Structures are given as C-alpha cells and as structure tokens.
Structure 1
Amino acid sequence: MSELKDRVKAATSGPDDQPQEPAPVTDLAVNDSVRQWLQRRQTYFTDALPRHVDKAHFMSVALASMEKLKDCTPASINTALLACCRFGLEPDGRQAAIIPYKEVATFQPMYEGYIELMYRHPRVDSVHFGWIREKDQWDYTPTEPSPRDFFHKPRVDLSEADRGPVILAYAFAWIDGRRSQVIMLNRSQAEAIRDKYSKAYKNAERKGTRDSTWHTDFDAMWAKSSVRRLVKVVPTSHDLTELLQADDAVDDAQPAPPVIRGTVISRDDEPGPDDQETPTPTWPKTAQPGGGAEGGEQE
C-alpha cells in the first residue's frame, strides 16, 4: 500500500516534489480550424433554422464565411451563427453578415435580410428595391394615387457608366394587391442620417482614419437606410421587430450580442445599425449601385 502511495505521489509531483497545477482545459474550437469546429456542430445550428430554410445550403454558406472569422472567439461565432439561424438569414454578405471585430464575431443583418423577412408576412406580395441613375427615366408625384405616383425605367440602351451616377435609392412593397408608399432616399438624405447617427463615422473622422463603413461602403449603408424606412409602412411581424432590435443593439455597445426581444425604438430617421465606435468592422463588399443581384436593382 505504501509503494502505491509513493507512485501516485511521484506521478502528481514536480521535480521539486511540489504538486503540479492541473492542465488547463483546452477548447477544441480554438485549436482546430473554424471549419472543423462548425462541421462538428452542424446539427446544433441546423436544428435552430426555420423549416423553410435549406439546411445544406445554409451550412455551405456558413462554412464559406468561416475563414475570415479564424481569429474570433468560438463563443462569439456561436452567438452570431445562432442569430442567423434565429432569423433564417444566410451569412452571405447580402442577407446577413458575420463581421469580425478583432476577436469578436458579430451578427449584422443586411438590406436583403430585411426584405426577406418582409416577404414572409402573409399580406406582403412582393418587395422592391432599386437605384435611380441620373439619365434614367423616372417620375415621382406623391399626390397621385398608387401606382401612378411613381415609375422608374432604367436606360437599358446605355451602359451603366453612361447612365450616370446614382441619385436616388427607393423601396416599396405590394401589400394585399396594393402598392405601399414609395420610400425615396437621395444621397444628401443618406449623408444626413450618417452625420446624425453614425458613431463610427464621427470617430473615424475625428481620428482621420476614414475607415468606418460609411467611408468604405457608403452604398450598402445608403441602401440599408432606405429599406429600414420601408419597415415603417409594411405589416410588422414579430421576427421583423426583433431583427430591428438586434440590428440597433450593435450600435449600443462594442461589441454586444444581438438583442432579439423587446420593442422597437421609434424615430424619424433610424440610425444605421452598422454605425460602430471602435473597433471598425471589416464589411463584405457590396456591388456598385445598379450592378445586379448583389446590391443592384431587384425589380
């Protein structure tokens, strides 16, 4: 018995006969690649998806987004992916994005994500977003009844460059067979929203870094501001309300997990949900206005 005790003591003692500290618990998600981490937890995420979402496609998109998150903590990636699953939005940079804030991965809905959730309401027939360029044919007369109050005809006989710069973003929905109010947002209005609400923009201007999202991807912010205003005139679902809440929560703390419960703060000009203090996120690039499926006209 004494010999056995001596063996146990030797196995648990250091060279100076001092008890060794227990080995730290290793998180496999840190040592393994994020792709392997996600693959091992595939069922965990797919079980959280709404039934209408294609699980295999969602996971393939999620896997493709993992490389840029390799320096983020597993807990933050887990939280961001669960938020995507909660709303049934793919982290493809169009419906939603998972943005690395140094070591923290943060869920960020994009303007197509808002449109996707609007579509899910049974009263909404369709949702449209578009860019108007300088030489396009268009007219907007608010006093006319719908749908005669607005029309837009892109100049298909001209190249995108020849159509001129983008002058307006617009969005509207068809609800119960009738068209909603048309939301129009010109560049100066988008800049006013940026100047009033964007903490990240003010911080980047103050520091002279000019690396906020409003600096690096103004068009994405412009588009999103337009679609967020449309939320006010379409039937509101519980999911859409929670998405707004989660989006706004990103601006409340740096970084913070999304809030998916509570009420929506009502104000005339919604602050850009991507308006961050520091650190500045790395955003997926958005196609140029009028450039097609990725950030272009969707009509």
Structure 2
Amino acid sequence: MTMSLKDRVAQAAGAAEEPQPEQTSTDIATRDDRLKWLNGHRTYFTDALPRHVDKAHFTAVALAQLPKLKNCTNQSIMTALLACARFGLEPDGRQAAIVPYKNTATFQPMYEGYIELMYRHPRVDSVHFNWIREKDAWDYTPSEPSPRDFYHKPRVDLSEEERGPVILAYAFAWIDGRRSQVIILNRSQAEKIRDKYSKSYAKAEREGSKDSTWHTDFDAMWAKSGVRRLVKVVPTSTELTELLQADDDADDLSTAPAVIRGTVVVREDQPDEGEQDTPAADWPQTAQPGSAAPEGDDSEAGDEG
C-alpha cells in the first residue's frame, strides 16, 4: 500500500522524536572532546619529534590510538605521546605502544623500537630479528667463529602454520662490518624473564585481571626480551639507555615517574594552543633523539635492564 505524503511526513516526524541511545551520544561527545583537546596540544609532542619523523603521520597514528584510551586521563595520554616523540617512535604497536592500565595511558617500547634506536648509532650497520619454527633448518655452535657459529634457513616452501610452532627467537647486529654475538631465547627463558622481572605481570596475576602485555601479547614481549638482551652487545647511546629505563619504569606502575627524562607533561589546566605563546617557565627543555641532554641536566641515565 502506497503511503500518502501526509502519512510519510507524520511518520518522519515521529521517528525524529524517538529518543536516541544516550550512551552513543555520550561516546561521540567524549571522542570529539578528546580529539579537540589532543589537536589543541599536538605541538607539545610534535615539536619533540626528531627531524626524520613526519609530524603529520605521527599525529595521525596518535589519533588512531584514542578509541582504546577512552577511559584514560588526558594528562597520561599526553605524557605517553611525549615519551614516544622523545624517542622518535611511532605509537603503532610495533615501534611503541600506548597501553591503558585502568585510567592511565602508559608508554611501552616494543622490539622494533629498540631496533630503530640501535640503527641510529653510526657504528651499527644492520640489526636482525627473526623466529625459528619447528621445521626450519638451523644450527647454533657457540665454539665456532662468527659467522659460522649460527645458521638459520626458514622453510620458504611451507606456510608459517606448516613450518610448525615457534621454538626460538633470535637477534644479532652487524657492527663495523662484523657480526655481533647471536642472542637466542626460547619460550621457557622468556617465561623466566617474565616471572622474575615483570611487575605488571605479577600485579595482573595477583589481581586476576590478566591484562598485562605479557598476558595479552606474549610473543611481542618474548621478542622484546630477546632484543633487549642484544642491547648489551651493541654500541649503546644515551637514548637507548634511557629507553631501557623508561621501559622498566613503565612496567613498575606503582613507581613510574610522571615525567620521562627529556619530556614535559601537559597539565590538565594548561591552556590550549594559541592561548599562550610559550610553555610555562618551569618546564624542562625538550631533548630530541641524538641530541645532548639539556644544559644543566647532569643526571645519570638509567642502568640497563
């Protein structure tokens, strides 16, 4: 039956009067407010980026993380983004991740982030990380001279599933034309590192929340544990040492500092961009990867983890 124009108008009017879900409206408003706030403060983290990182791309990646951080405070989100910018790492889940712990957004470097900082040292030619699967051809004989001590040939004729489960993670670097020691880590060793050193894992176990990164992405933490061991055999830098310390501080959520060295924190009551020309006078100068520490800062870098 064809409806008359009058009936269609009445139907449309009735539909317009139907109440919309309040939660959806609230979520959209919260998201829009967060986008506005972050865009208004974006220069605080983009100005900290090293010159080789594209600011527009970094901002786009940062904005894409907001949905999962909807319960986190603006200040903790900005602090985490400043940490990413401080080290020149994108918060894409590969170089670095911003992990929500209740209402706190926490900066967490990933294994590709460590590799990125290793590459920046002029003596490092290349850095390699890979997985060995059950059916791969491989051999490791520590008594043999480099590079004959290690061999890995993946089964390229098979899919990852057909190659079997992962049994080892390994990493090495080429430095001044010579290969470094090969770091090899099996699953059991990764679990021991987790159980001995990760405070966030222990806390999640005690609380029964099972929400630490060791719980949600074990392989990523396994990979990072192997690459972190490689840090001990490659030429180090201030940034790499500070990244290790920031990583350890982030894992120890009860004592993690509000400010990671070389960054500043945007206070909740800080005016939006355009309302003041310069940051508050008591904020520390922002340092960029590869630069010296701000003048007058004679604090020591954190120990290796």
TM-score by length of structure 2 reads: 0.73
How many residues are aligned here? 239
Q: What is the 5 A alignment of 1:3-18?
A: none
Per the TM alignment, residue 117 of structure 1 is displaced from its structure 2 partner at its CA by: 0.4
Tell me which residue corresponds to 2:99: 99
> Any conservation in 2 of the 1:35–1:63 contact (CA below 8 Å)?
yes
Q: What is the 5 A alignment of 1:91-240?
A: 91-240=91-240
- Closer, same or farther: CA 130–163 of 1 in aligned 2, 3 Å: same
Superposition RMSD in Å: 2.0
User: Gaps spanning 5+ residues in structure 2: where?
Assistant: 1-28, 262-298
Q: What amino acid is the match of 1:162?
A: E
Tell me which residue corresponds to 2:79: 79
Q: What amino acid is the match of 2:84?
A: C
- Closer, same or farther: CA 195–31 of 1 in aligned 2, 3 Å: closer
> Any conservation in 2 of the 1:119–1:127 contact (CA below 8 Å)?
yes
Per the TM alignment, residue 30 of structure 1 is displaced from its structure 2 partner at its CA by: 7.5
Deviations 1:103-136 (A, max 9, x none): 2111111111000000000111111100000100
**For residues 126 and 143 of structure 2, what CA distance do their matches in structure 1 show?**
23
TM-score by length of structure 1 reads: 0.75
> Any conservation in 1 of the 2:83–2:260 contact (CA below 8 Å)?
no
> Any conservation in 2 of the 1:124–1:176 contact (CA below 8 Å)?
yes
**For residues 48 and 205 of structure 1, what CA distance do their matches in structure 2 show?**
36
Deviations 1:47-96 (A, max 9, x none): 11111111111111111112222222111111111111110000001101
- Closer, same or farther: CA 200–215 of 1 in aligned 2, 3 Å: same
Q: What amino acid is the match of 1:152?
A: H
Deviations 1:24-48 (A, max 9, x none): xxxxx98952222222223332211
**For residues 198 and 186 of structure 2, what CA distance do their matches in structure 1 show?**
17
- Closer, same or farther: CA 194–49 of 1 in aligned 2, 3 Å: same
**For residues 197 and 157 of structure 1, what CA distance do their matches in structure 2 show?**
39
> Any conservation in 1 of the 2:173–2:180 contact (CA below 8 Å)?
yes
> Any conservation in 2 of the 1:242–1:262 contact (CA below 8 Å)?
no
Q: What is the 5 A alignment of 1:238-277?
A: 238-254=238-254, 256-257=257-258, 259-260=260-261, 262-266=300-304, 270=305
